[in-house]
């Protein structure tokens, strides 16, 4: 029998991040009966809310492998002493390689939480938010890659416009890109407040209750961290790893992500119907590879307690049939 240790209770600092749809996302994995002894993936450890709950439901022979790009999340994960738990400092897009290196071919459930954590947003030194002034970094993994400030200093105007329009769904992308280029010709854009001020000057009309910089900051963060590319790769890798009967539980926080998740799961849950005029036996008809289980949004009580949960959407699907 595998030796385990008790899952530690959350420290006070952990409560700075309220895990969105905590129970719903883990419940959706269906960790009951024999499945409680299986292998599970937490694609974004964050501050460990989902991982801790999964571990509390796993039996001694169960196993949980978590991923995260953020060094601070990795430090939190490494303090979680449980022989059933492994943390990988990388994107969940690398699931296939990471599991192959550990001799794992299939898993019994995968949870992907695509949101940015509250500690990341609230730490001014990370540069994710315009509500506090800080260096314009925005990297999930501060040990590698180009910062937002470095990219803004070198990107062509047409690329700035495309990123802000496509990833931020910002209708004033042209004006914002032009303003950024004009400003950087005079002096570098190095802080969050500087960028927010530039955007505010370029946006002519404002959405009620939303800062004019919201869409631009979202767009740059998504681009810098290759979030949509990681999501596409991660969904495909996760699907390929699911054993029959295993479930994928995915939480998204903005329309671009949710659209990708919805379309991906729908594509696996439908089949092309053959010509009805052809003599095909029912047993030979093509079968779907996944079954859509649920679409869940936070309750009013959760949104009231944690306003950052308001845009979250949980989609759940189950793998059926043989391996792809």
DSSP classification of residue 109:
E
Interval 202-212: pLDDT, tens: 998 878 878 99
On whether both 154 and 277 belong to a single domain, the answer is no
Q: Which residue has the higher pLDDT, 198 or 285?
A: 198
Last residue of a domain, one of 224, 242, 269: 224
On whether both 156 and 36 belong to a single domain, the answer is no
Q: Does the residue 75 lie in any domain?
A: yes
Q: Does the residue 77 lie in any domain?
A: yes
CATH label of the domain that carries residue 183: 1.10.150.170
**Residue 279 has what pLDDT?**
63
On whether both 189 and 267 belong to a single domain, the answer is no
Count the neighbouring beta carbons within 10 Å of the beta carbon of residue 151: 18
On whether both 99 and 184 belong to a single domain, the answer is no
CATH label of the domain that carries residue 298: 3.40.50.150
Average pLDDT of the chain is: 90
Count the neighbouring beta carbons within 10 Å of the beta carbon of residue 305: 11
On whether both 38 and 87 belong to a single domain, the answer is yes
Confidence of residue 14 (pLDDT cuts 50, 70, 90): very low
On whether both 155 and 98 belong to a single domain, the answer is no
Q: Check if the beta carbon of residue 298 is closer than 8 Å to that of residue 21.
A: yes
On whether both 16 and 64 belong to a single domain, the answer is yes
d(CA 126, CA 106): 35
**Residue 317 has what pLDDT?**
98
Q: Does the residue 1 lie in any domain?
A: no
Binding residues for S-adenosyl-L-methionine: 48-50, 68, 92, 113, 120
Q: Check if the beta carbon of residue 232 is closer than 8 Å to that of residue 260.
A: yes
Range of the domain at 105: 12-118+227-319
On whether both 26 and 175 belong to a single domain, the answer is no
Q: Does the residue 5 lie in any domain?
A: no
Cα→Cα distances 124→155, 206, 292, 315, Å: 24, 24, 39, 31
d(CA 297, CA 88): 29
State the total domains in the chain: 2
The 3-state DSSP composition of the chain as helix, strand, coil percent (nearest 5) reads 45, 15, 40
Q: Does the residue 296 lie in any domain?
A: yes
Q: Check if the beta carbon of residue 128 is closer than 8 Å to that of residue 118.
A: no
Mean pLDDT of 119-132: 91
Mean pLDDT of 10-18: 45
**Residue 204 has what pLDDT?**
82
Q: Does the residue 128 lie in any domain?
A: no
Interval 82-98: pLDDT, tens: 999 999 999 999 999 99
Nearest to 229 by CA among 62, 69, 48: 69
Binding residues: 48-50, 68, 92, 113, 120
On whether both 60 and 193 belong to a single domain, the answer is no
On whether both 52 and 201 belong to a single domain, the answer is no
Both tokens of residue 18?
């309220």
Residues 6+ apart with CB under 8 A from 234: 43, 91, 92, 93, 95, 112
Q: Does the residue 67 lie in any domain?
A: yes
Interval 60-116: pLDDT, tens: 999 999 999 999 999 999 999 999 999 999 999 999 999 999 999 999 999 999 978
On whether both 261 and 197 belong to a single domain, the answer is no
On whether both 214 and 264 belong to a single domain, the answer is no
Last residue of a domain, one of 198, 224, 250: 224
Residues 6+ apart with CB under 8 A from 172: 202, 203, 204
Nearest to 110 by CA among 43, 47, 169: 43
Q: Does the residue 133 lie in any domain?
A: no
Helices (H), the chain: 22-27, 49-57, 71-78, 95-101, 118-122, 148-154, 157-168, 173-184, 192-202, 214-224, 227-241, 255-269, 300-305
Last residue of a domain, one of 224, 257, 278: 224
For 142-192, what is the HEC assignment?
CCCCCCHHHHHHHCCHHHHHHHHHHHHCCCCHHHHHHHHHHHHCCCCCCEH
């Amino acid at each position: 029998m595998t030796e385990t240790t008790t899952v530690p209770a959350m420290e006070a600092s952990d409560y700075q991040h309220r895990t969105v749809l905590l129970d719903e996302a883990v419940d959706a994995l269906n960790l009951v009966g024999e499945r409680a002894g299986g292998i599970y993936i937490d694609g974004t450890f964050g501050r460990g809310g989902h991982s801790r709950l999964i571990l509390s439901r796993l039996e001694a022979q169960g196993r949980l492998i978590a991923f995260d790009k953020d060094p601070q999340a990795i430090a939190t994960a490494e303090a979680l002493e449980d022989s059933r738990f492994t943390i990988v400092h990388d994107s969940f897009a690398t699931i296939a390689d990471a599991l192959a290196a550990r001799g794992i071919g299939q898993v019994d459930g995968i949870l992907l939480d695509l949101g940015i954590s509250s500690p990341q947003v609230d730490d001014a030194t990370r540069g994710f938010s315009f509500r506090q002034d800080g260096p314009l970094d925005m990297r999930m993994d501060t040990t590698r890659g180009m910062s937002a400030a470095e990219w803004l200093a070198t990107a062509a105007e047409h690329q700035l416009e495309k990123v802000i329009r496509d990833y931020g769904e910002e209708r004033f992308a042209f004006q914002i890109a032009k303003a950024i280029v004009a400003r950087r010709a005079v002096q570098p854009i190095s802080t969050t407040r500087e960028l927010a001020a530039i955007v505010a000057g370029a946006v002519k009309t404002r959405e009620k209750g939303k800062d004019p910089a919201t869409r631009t900051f979202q767009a740059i963060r998504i681009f810098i961290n290759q979030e949509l590319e990681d999501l596409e790769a991660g969904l495909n890798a996760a699907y390929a790893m699911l054993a029959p009967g295993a479930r994928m539980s995915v939480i998204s926080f903005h329309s671009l992500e949710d659209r990708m998740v919805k379309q991906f799961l729908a594509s696996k849950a439908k089949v092309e119907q053959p010509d009805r005029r052809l003599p095909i036996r029912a047993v030979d008809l093509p079968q779907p590879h996944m079954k859509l289980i649920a679409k869940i949004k936070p309750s009013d009580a959760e949104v009231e307690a944690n306003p950052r949960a308001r845009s979250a959407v949980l989609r759940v699907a189950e793998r059926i049939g043989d391996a792809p």
